[in-house]
Amino acid sequence: MIITEKKPIQEIIEALKDYQKIFLVGCGECSTTCKTGGEKEVLELKDTLIKLGKDILGYVIPKAPCIASQLKQELAKSINALKDTEAVLVLACGLGVQSVKDNNRFGQKVIPACNSSFIGVMDSKGDFLEKCSLCGDCLLDLTEGLCPITLCSKGILNGPCGGMDKGKCEVDKEKDCAWVLIYREMEKRERIANFGKINPPRDFKKTIHPRKISLEKK
């Protein structure tokens, strides 16, 4: 999932300063889970903006605003409110914001209410953990399910680097060295012979932006 954090309210107020009639778009998936763009957060922000003198013409919370068909379906239900809107405030990740820009037929100003931080998992304690950097060439099979690109501060594919000290990372002494974790995992699974294998350099051509994958070609 995409992990988002709320922008400070002052930043949102500044972004809205030239607009009076506002429409809100939340997100029923990731931003609901992150407590940044679910119904509770949308209604809270709506109340705050009303108290600050803004006119809130309406709101929608598509299940996934990053999916055009779902977003369009929800926006269509509020077509009259949207017509009169001056700016759309989106409580979702950058994908949601850009999807609103691309799929709102009235083309008003689109303003983000959240910062997109990383893609991650939610653990059983409710913490969000960054686990993958979308490298386009997953090598988790070679590293026993631990991502060196994300967990190693330098993204080293054949570690550890010379700075590792007593199992800790030289960049952040509080953090375990990713390559020590990978070594221990290989040891546990009796696959330690793999540790000496050299992983080829990353092919950065696979991560040239913007990427596009077409389902029609599959």
Which residues, including other chains, have CB under 8 Å from residue 83's CB and lie 6 or more apart? Answer: 106
Task: State which of positions 173-202 bind ligand SF4 (CB under 6 A).
Answer: 177-179
Residue 212 phi, psi dihedral angles, 5° rounding? -145, 135
If the CB atoms of residues 112 and 159 are measured against ligand SF4, the closer one turns out to be 159
Among 67, 81, 122, 139, binds ligand SF4 (CB under 6 A): 139
What is the DSSP secondary-structure string of 167-212?
TB-SS-TTSBPHHHHHHHHHHHTT-GGGGGSPPPPP-GGGGPSSP-
163 binds ligand SF4 (CB under 6 A): yes
Identify whether the C-beta of residue 186 lies closer than 8 Å to the C-beta of residue 144.
yes
Count Cα atoms within 13 angstroms, Cβ side, for 148: 24
Residue span binding ligand SF4 (CB under 6 A) among the ranges 58-66, 70-78, 84-92, 150-158: 150-158
CA dist., res. 130 & res. 65, Å (int): 22
156 binds ligand SF4 (CB under 6 A): yes
Which residues, including other chains, have CB under 8 Å from residue 17's CB and lie 6 or more apart? Answer: none
Among 52, 68, 140, 192, binds ligand SF4 (CB under 6 A): 140
150 binds ligand SF4 (CB under 6 A): yes
169 binds ligand SF4 (CB under 6 A): yes
Pairing state between β 114-122 and 109-112 = unpaired
132 binds ligand SF4 (CB under 6 A): yes
Least Cα distance to 156 among 177, 186, 176 occurs for 177
If the CB atoms of residues 8 and 163 are measured against ligand SF4, the closer one turns out to be 163
If the CB atoms of residues 31 and 143 are measured against ligand SF4, the closer one turns out to be 143
Total residues binding ligand SF4 (CB under 6 A): 25
The least CB distance from residue 79 to ligand SF4, in Å, is: 40
CA dist., res. 53 & res. 47, Å (int): 10
153 binds ligand SF4 (CB under 6 A): yes
If the CB atoms of residues 70 and 133 are measured against ligand SF4, the closer one turns out to be 133
List interacting residues with ligand SF4 (CB under 6 A): 132-135, 138-140, 147, 149-150, 152-154, 156, 159-161, 163-164, 169-171, 177-179
